[in-house]
Chain A
Amino acid sequence: MSVIFTPFLFQSAMQAITPILLASLAGVLCGRVGVFNLALEGQMLVGAFAAIVGSYFTHSALGGVAAAMAGAVAFSLVLAYGATVFRGDPVVIGIGMNLLASGLTAYLLRGTFGVSGAFSDPGIVGLGRIAIPPLIGVPVLGWAFGRQSALTWVAWALTALVSVVLFKTPVGLRLRGVGEEPDAAETLGVDIARYRVVTVLVAGALTGLAGAQLSLGAVSVFAEDMSAGRGWIAVVAVMLGRNNPLYVAAACVLFGFADALSINLQSQGLPNQLTDISPYLATLAALVISHRRRTRAPRPPAEVAAASASPAPVATGGSTLDADRGSRFRAD
């Protein structure tokens, strides 16, 4: 047991959690304002690529992070306007954005650096670890907290910030209202489109940070499709945490550990093809367990629930996973 739960495991878990947590916070913001964000995977990828480009040309990590945020925000304009002003189906837009990001970053990789597959260069400055001497001495946890990249601390700080803003400030209250009942918010004078667009763009900046952590965090490299499903795990974390930043963070911790565990098991000799699967299996298990706990009261046959949860690009559009609304008394 102690072979598996090494201090190194905690450190690599914290590293693994960071991009997922940042992307999840982005997902929380979008979900709270009523825009279902499935594009986290693509947004992270764009951020990762922009980070490498920025760091390469400015020879600074800060330049990389700034470029990552800028790039991800620009990319998020598609979702911001597509799902609000243009009333497109967020599910289709999200999937399309993921595919666009994959192709676009691969294309620009060749165009900018002339290579394909992966790119690394001494000119790229990565995010160094911030060593906090007093913490390093602490056994076990010292590894976890003593040496982390700056973005890891930023991620946790942002988790607290997003919580406070959502639940204690007027902006947060109005944002939550826009997501829950846009009609009601509108009649009380809140500009729904503006709130949604701005929130999606702010969330985009967070995904940029996530991408920067991916490509500049540990080893400074960009590889095609390097987001590798983390964006989807973030989507699940948001679902599990029911759009509450603190619960979502807890879900991310779970997944981060599963991720780190798989790396650890790898070093024990298990083939990586199998260990790589563990975060996804953990995710699926978590979803099933969460559903079981939530449905203590018997519900209508899964038929109707399933039917209303699957996306219908023709008929509805708009958030399709918030089907637990139930019916309210509503006149024509």
Chain B
Amino acid sequence: MPEIEALGIVKRYGGLVANDGVDLSVDRGEIHGVMGENGAGKTTLMSVLFGLQAPDAGEIRLRGAAVRFRSPLDAMAAGMGMVHQSFKLFASLNVWENIVYGAEPTRGPFIDRRAARAQVAALAERYRLAVDPDAVVGDLSVGVRQRVEILKALYRDARVLILDEPTAVLTPQEGDALFGVLRRLAAGGRTVLLVTHKLHEALAITDRVTILRDGRTVASLRTAETNPREIIRAMTGRNVNLNVEKGPPHVGAPRLTAVDLIIAGAAARPAVDRVSLSVRAGEIVGIAGVAGNGQNELVEALVGLRRPDGGRVEICGVDVKAANVAAHRAAGLAYIPEDRAAVGSALPASAADNLAMGFQRAAPLARGPFVIPAAFAERARALIRRYAIRIPSERVAVGTLSGGNLQKVVVARELSHEAPVLIAEQPTRGLDIGATETIHERLMAERDSGRAVLLVSAELSEILALSDRVLVMFEGRILADLPQERADEESVGLLMAGRAQEAA
């Protein structure tokens, strides 16, 4: 009998049906992939399986017996464990505190620290997940933090381990190491549920895949017997060309230049360590690297949100001395930020207000110190039309929009600046394939019309598909500047992990 089954799971959020009768069946010792686009219902299904949400209808069966989870506590008691996409860790606590949290060994009224450390060390040894129990989690790299998350589940003796997009934050090599761990766990009789949207991952490690689309199960396939096209067709309902059409670049003069940028970091090592780069008109330069290697700080310095401690930034030939966004923008820069909700927009404000940001000081939106509301509305309507943003009117608050539509608002606004330089950070994160396609096409169109585009993304496939040149960032330095022909997943992956020699 299957280790875990979901039968006809239905879950609604207000008017939205996230899961509309989802079925799932996983055998013991299996590595089972759950695939689908963003919004297909994978995360909701996992929330239900882990007891974070109660289904409106349907049943969960563990080893044939029906179970009902009222909370994650119930699920954990029944042997479920989950590693979330965004880690649920306490940055200021150390490793053993994070692992035993909620199930602490005690001696009288106090926590038994010695027992806790010993148990954690023993677990780490047994599953070959190297961690230092006393290290503070906030200081750890993402790969190590993931190990802590897995140990958390193992500490509670999880028989079924759910991992939600685990390789989103890893280098390819770290991903391989993770897969080794998963194979060991499966061989030891545990069951692994792997939620992913990455084809190559699913094909590499899973035994079977279940594919969700629009809240329903549309396919359950044996990995060995299927192929990428079949999976994509199931995920999207159509044939999608993953490869972006790309002509050769028509490169012009450098438009964005950084010379010897230095930005101090919290630790002894600088966050950005003498970085020089140059982006020319008509090309896309991609920065590959695991998150946390200085990309954020670098972009902040380029945009004007942060003053560098050394070096300079030139936009369209102008040395931008003042460290403020207004000056950088005035010199010719547009910026699509990583966090579209927290930085790229004001959720309670209307689409008209959001689309106007950056233009409010000049005609046609303003005359002297006064603004012209009618011009705001007109501009917004034009942009909504041009970018096919699904919103009832320009007066509606953008907080109601889906991720893809909100990103369209941000992109529409930034591109309408017609700035010579465009910096795009994680532009397609959390978007479904359709929206991702659109954004990729736009970026290529910008590049073809002579814009200088700097693309920062943790999705290696995105970087490799779009960039004319690939820079790899590691520990605040640019380790390599590879032309597209020489940038492949293996060599870039090695560089991302800091192994410059092996990549050469």
Contacts and interface: CB of A to CB of B under 8 A. Distances in A.
Interface string A265-308: 00000000000000000000000000000000110110110000
Interface in A87-130: none
Contact of A188 (B101, B305, B347): B101
Contacts of A2: none
A300 B306 contact: yes
B72 A186 contact: yes
B91 A169 contact: no
A78 interface: no
B403 interface: yes
Interface string A318-332: 000000000111111
Given A186-B72, A187-B72, A189-B71, A331 B86 contact: yes
A299 to B, nearest CB: 8
Interface residues of B, number: 54
B101 A177 contact: yes
A177 B292 contact: no
A180 interface: yes
B449 interface: no
A332 B430 contact: yes
Contacts of B52: 186-187
Contacts of B292: 329
Interface stretch (B7-15, B103-111, B375-383, B474-482): B103-111
B183 interface: no
B73 interface: yes
B265 interface: yes
A177 B91 CA distance: 10
B88 A332 contact: no
Nearest to B325: A303
Contacts of B305: 300-301, 304
Given A170-B111, A177-B93, A329-B291, A188 B102 contact: yes
B462 interface: no
Interface in B250-295: 264-266, 291-292
B264 A187 contact: no
Interface in B128-177: 142, 152, 165, 168-169
B89 interface: yes
A332 B428 CA distance: 11
Contacts of B306: 300-301
B86 A181 contact: no
A187 B91 contact: no
Given A180-B91, A331-B85, A331-B430, A298 B307 contact: yes
B3 interface: no
Contacts of B265: 297
A330 B72 contact: no
Interface residues of A, number: 31
Interface in B35-78: 38, 50, 52, 71-73, 76
B266 to A, nearest CB: 6
Contacts of B101: 173-174, 177, 184-185, 188
A327 B347 CA distance: 19
Contacts of B92: 176, 180
A187 B75 CA distance: 10
Given A304-B305, A332-B429, A187 B84 contact: yes
Contact of B97 (A173, A298, A301, A328): A173
A184 B88 contact: yes
Given A184-B89, A189-B73, A297-B264, A174 B300 contact: no
A158 interface: no
A314 interface: yes
A118 B277 CA distance: 71
B348 interface: yes
In the complex, which of the residues A168, A176, A304, A330 has the most CB atoms of chain B within 10 Å of its own CB atom?
A: A330
B17 to A, nearest CB: 19
Contact of B111 (A168, A180, A185, A332): A168
B82 interface: yes
B309 interface: yes
A329 B101 CA distance: 22
B309 A298 contact: yes
A303 B300 CA distance: 13
B109 to A, nearest CB: 6
Contacts of B38: 332
Interface in A152-181: 168-170, 173-174, 176-177, 180-181
B155 to A, nearest CB: 11
Contacts of B264: 297-298
Interface string A26-67: 000000000000000000000000000000000000000000
A190 interface: yes
Contacts of A315: 346-348
Interface string B296-333: 10001000011101000000000000011000000000
A31 to B, nearest CB: 13
Given A184-B89, A297-B264, A315-B347, A173 B110 contact: no
Contact of A174 (B102, B152, B165, B266): B102
A170 B100 CA distance: 10
A169 B348 contact: no
B88 A181 contact: yes
Contacts of B97: 173
B90 interface: yes
B259 to A, nearest CB: 19
- Determine which residue in A185, A189, A314 has the highest number of CB atoms from chain B within 10 A of its CB, and name it: A189
A77 to B, nearest CB: 25
B435 to A, nearest CB: 12
Contact of A169 (B93, B110, B403): B110
Contacts of A314: 348
Contacts of B103: 188
Contacts of A331: 85-86, 165, 168, 429-430
Contacts of A186: 52, 72
A170 B88 contact: no
B76 A169 contact: no
26 contacts: A170-B106, A176-B92, A177-B90, A177-B93, A180-B90, A180-B92, A180-B93, A181-B89, A184-B88, A185-B102, A187-B52, A188-B76, A188-B102, A188-B103, A189-B76, A189-B102, A297-B265, A297-B266, A314-B348, A315-B347, A328-B91, A329-B291, A330-B86, A331-B85, A331-B86, A332-B403
Given A300-B300, A329-B291, A331-B165, 7 more contacts: A170-B106, A185-B102, A187-B50, A298-B307, A304-B305, A330-B86, A332-B403
Nearest 4 A/B pairs, CB to CB:
A332-B430, A184-B88, A189-B73, A188-B102
